Amino acid sequence: MDSTTYRKTTSLKPAGKIGRQWKHYKGMLVARLGGFALRGMAWLAHRLPSALANGLGKNLGRLLFYCTPHRRHIALNNLSQAFPGKSKVELFRILHECYNNLGLCIVEFLRLPAFKKYEKVAEVIALEGEEHLRSALAKGRGVILLTAHFGNWELVGAGLAAAGYTLNVLARHQKDKATTSLVDSIRETAGMRVLPARSGDASRILRCLRRGEIIGFLIDQNAAREGIFVDFFGRLASTHAGAALFAIRTRAPVIPIFGIRHKDNTHTALILPEVEVIRTGNLKEDLRANTAAFTRLVEQQIRARPEMWFWLHDRWKSRPKTAKEIARD
C-alpha cells in the first residue's frame, strides 16, 4: 500500500468528531464551574461594604489577568492593532486597567440586589445629558438606546431604571442555565426588563417601542456572517445591524449612552444627543451607512477612554468573504 492509498483509507473524521465533542463538553464544564464561582461571589458581594467590595473587584481583575492567557493575548493583539503608535508599556497599562475595570464591573453588578432602595443607585451613577433622552421619549415612538461594553454598562441600565425609565435590555443566554437565571434576576431586581436576544423576537421589540419604552442595543461585538462589515479602528468588523433596522423601520429616535468610571469608582451615564438616522429608501445601503455611523460613535468613546472598553472580546474574528467565496455563492 503506497502513502497515497494509506492517506485515503485512514480518515481523520472520527478524530475530528471526537475533538469537537471534547471541545463542546469542555466548554460546558468551564461554564458550569464559572457559574458556581459567580454564584459564590454574588453571595459574598451582597454582604460586603462598598470599600471591601471594590477591593474584591480589583483583586478579581488581577486574577482574571493571570488566569486568562488566551483572552489576554486577544486583548493585547486588539490594542496593538487599534493603537499602532502606542508603546508596549502604554498598551500594557491600558490592558491592566481594562482587567481592573472588568473585575470591578462584575462585583458591582453582583451587588445590585444589595441596593434595597433604588435611590442608592443614584449615589453611585449620575445621569448626564438626560434632557436628550427626555426629548427623544417625548416624540412618542420609544427610544433605541445605543451603547457598548464600555465602563459599567450594566450599572448604566440600573441607573436609568432607578431614575424611572422603562428600559428593556436584550440579553443572550449563557451556556450554564443557572448563570443565565442569576444574571437575568439581578437585572430584573435592578428594574430592567430582560428580552432574550433571539432571532424572531422582532415583534416583542416593536411592541416595546410602540408603548414608548426604551430598548438597549449593544453593538460592539462580533456578529459573524450575519452582520454587516463596517470600519472599526481601521479594520472591517462584522457588526449587528438590528439597531439600524429598527431605527429605519419604526422611526424611533436613537440615543447613544456610555458609562464612565471615575477614580473614586462612582460613575456617569453620559447621554449624547439624538443621532440623525439616514433614510434614502435603499434599505441595504441605509443599514450599512447607519451601522457604520453608530460604530463610529462607539469608536470615538473608546479612543477617548480605551481602558473602559472590553478588549478581551475577539471583535475582528469574522472576516469578509473572499472573491472565491463570493463566486461560489
3-state secondary structure 207-223: HHHHCCCEEEEECCCEC
CB atoms within 10 A of CB 224: 10
Residue 318: is its pLDDT beyond 90?
Answer: yes
Say whether both 191 and 49 belong to one domain: no
Hey, what's the cell of 299? 469608536
Say whether both 28 and 94 belong to one domain: yes
247-289: per-residue pLDDT in tens? 999 999 999 999 999 999 999 999 999 999 999 999 999 999 9
Residue 116: is its pLDDT beyond 60?
Answer: no
Instruction: Tell me what pLDDT residue 225 has.
Output: 83
Cα separation, 82 vs 97, in Å, equals 16
Residue 168 domain-assigned (yes or no): yes
Say whether both 85 and 164 belong to one domain: no
Say whether both 140 and 184 belong to one domain: yes
pLDDT mean over 35-63? 84
Residue 128 domain-assigned (yes or no): yes
Hey, what's the cell of 8? 485515503
Instruction: Tell me what pLDDT residue 199 has.
Output: 56
Instruction: Provide the pLDDT confidence category of residue 8 given band limits of 50, 70 and 90.
Output: very low
Q: What is the CA radius of gyration of the chain?
A: 22
Helix (H, G, I), strand (E, B) or coil at 311: coil
Structure pTM?
0.86
Instruction: Tell me what pLDDT residue 178 has.
Output: 81
Residue 64: is its pLDDT beyond 60?
Answer: yes
Residue 78: is its pLDDT beyond 60?
Answer: yes
Residue 152: is its pLDDT beyond 70?
Answer: yes
CB distance 250 to 206 below 8 Å: yes
pLDDT mean over 2-29? 49
CB distance 275 to 164 below 8 Å: no
Amino acid type, 300: Q
- Of 74-88, 139-153, 168-182, give the lowest mean pLDDT range: 168-182
Domain that holds residue 154: 120-321
Q: Which residues contact 193 (CB under 8 A, 6 or more apart)?
A: 166, 167, 168, 169
Amino acid type, 65: F
Q: Which residues contact 278 (CB under 8 A, 6 or more apart)?
A: 286, 289, 290, 293
Instruction: Tell me what pLDDT residue 23 has.
Output: 55
Say whether both 68 and 176 belong to one domain: no
Residue 288 domain-assigned (yes or no): yes
Domain boundary among 60, 75, 110: 110
Say whether both 171 and 294 belong to one domain: yes
Say whether both 316 and 168 belong to one domain: yes
pLDDT mean over 147-152? 97
Domain boundary among 89, 110, 131: 110
Residue 153: is its pLDDT beyond 70?
Answer: yes
Say whether both 199 and 249 belong to one domain: yes
Hey, what's the cell of 53? 467590595
Say whether both 131 and 193 belong to one domain: yes
Say whether both 75 and 195 belong to one domain: no
CB distance 61 to 104 below 8 Å: yes
With a pLDDT cut of 90, the percent of the chain lying above it is 70
- Measure the CA angle with vertex 237, ends 234 and 240; round to 5°: 140
Residue 22: is its pLDDT beyond 70?
Answer: no
pLDDT mean over 178-200? 85
Beta-bridged to residue 236, according to DSSP, are: 231
Domain boundary among 110, 140, 166: 110
Cα separation, 242 vs 256, in Å, equals 15
Residue 216: is its pLDDT beyond 50?
Answer: yes
Residue 298 domain-assigned (yes or no): yes
Give the dihedral of Cα atoms 247, 250, 253, 259; nearest 10 deg: -50
**Which is more confidently placed, 290 or 322?**
290
Say whether both 165 and 84 belong to one domain: no
Instruction: Tell me what pLDDT residue 123 has.
Output: 87
Residue 134: is its pLDDT beyond 80?
Answer: yes
Q: In total, how many domains does the chain have?
A: 2
Instruction: Tell me what pLDDT residue 30 has.
Output: 55
Say whether both 90 and 231 belong to one domain: no
Residue 327 domain-assigned (yes or no): no
- Of 44-53, 112-121, 186-195, give the lowest mean pLDDT range: 112-121
CB distance 289 to 223 below 8 Å: no
Cα separation, 217 vs 31, in Å, equals 25
Q: Tell me which residue of 189, 233, 273, 290 sits closest to 80, measured CA to CA.
A: 233
Helix intervals (H) in the chain: 3-9, 13-46, 50-67, 69-82, 88-110, 121-124, 130-137, 153-162, 177-189, 202-210, 242-250, 283-304, 323-328
Instruction: Tell me what pLDDT residue 14 has.
Output: 47
Cα separation, 42 vs 47, in Å, equals 9
Residue 159 domain-assigned (yes or no): yes
Instruction: Tell me what pLDDT residue 11 has.
Output: 42
